[in-house]
Copies of this chain bind each other. A is one copy, B any other.
């Protein structure tokens, strides 16, 4: 009998599902709209439809699938298989694993997206050859996942590696979590966007205003990056400042986890040339020489597939550890 693994990446706008062989190679894929506004049952129906899709395309059956891994934004409870909340889907305490298992008969595992991405990069991306790494996603927020002795360390209730919410300057800007000066409040995409809008509102950057057709509210991190690439000094400085604070966060991660590798991913990394040099410079100052000499900082390799490959890695983790 064949042995397949399923990965399902559930986002606010799309569901991405892949069927993989025992080596993690994707055989068939399916992508459907999440239709978040149509409610819980419809979303789950769409998830199940993508599973049907990939099985049919491959001529495979559910009982040939060993495990299904789901990567989802949190907060969630991976042990109980429950989505506690999901800002994109207006879900509250949805027993997702139970629902999917009873509909498909396939053993299902759930992890938050940053943790799944960490597993994806460990087994299929930048971290293939290391035993200890921290994955950090710099996106609308900043999240992370730690691999320790080749295995995901999720913490007691899936909150390990929430490094976006470590305070690096108590006099810093207000964070969405209510504290001041979290790493996320300095260096996430929404924080960069906020700084950019403040600068535009203060009349400091015509370039950003023009790129947003004079609508300040439309200025986001992408427009800030565009302005920086066009030479706008204010926009450049906003990214450099984010890089400086990211560097403190990276230094702290090095002094805390002492891993062989840090992998950086997330949408903001598309503009990494605007802030990464500054981040690495600061990181090298903050990190102690002992752990610094052991660590390599790499960009994530899996690109837009990171969610899907992460979900497949969630499904395959036990097997991958044993085979390795």
Contacts and interface: CB of A to CB of B under 8 A. Distances in A.
A156 B75 contact: no
Contacts of A159: 255, 258, 288, 290-291, 294
Contact of A290 (B157, B252, B260): B157
B291 A162 contact: yes
Say how many copies of this protein the assembly contains: 2
A161 B257 CA distance: 6
A288 B255 contact: no
B285 A179 contact: yes
17 contacts: A132-B155, A149-B153, A154-B258, A155-B259, A157-B258, A158-B290, A161-B258, A162-B288, A165-B288, A166-B252, A167-B168, A167-B252, A167-B286, A169-B170, A170-B248, A171-B171, A179-B286
B252 A160 contact: no
A230 B252 CA distance: 37
Contact of A160 (B75, B166, B179, B256): B256
Contacts of A181: 169
A169 B171 contact: yes
A291 B156 contact: yes
Interface of A: 75, 132, 148-149, 153-163, 165-171, 177-179, 181, 248, 251-252, 255-260, 285-286, 288, 290-291, 294-295
B155 A258 contact: yes
Contact of A256 (B166, B168, B179, B258): B166
A169 B166 contact: no
B256 A294 contact: no
A286 B157 CA distance: 17
A259 B177 contact: no
A148 B248 CA distance: 25
A253 to B, nearest CB: 8
Nearest to A290: B159
A257 B155 contact: yes
Q: Which of A158, A160, A260 has the most CB of B within 10 A?
A: A160
Q: Which of A149, A159, A170 has the most CB of B within 10 A?
A: A159
Nearest to A282: B170
A137 to B, nearest CB: 15
B156 A294 contact: yes
A259 B245 CA distance: 26
A286 to B, nearest CB: 5
B156 A259 contact: yes
Contacts of A160: 256-258, 291
A258 B288 contact: no
Contacts of A286: 167, 179
Report the 7 A-B pairs with minimum CB-CB distance, sorted nearest first: A155-B258, A159-B291, A159-B258, A166-B252, A160-B258, A162-B255, A159-B290
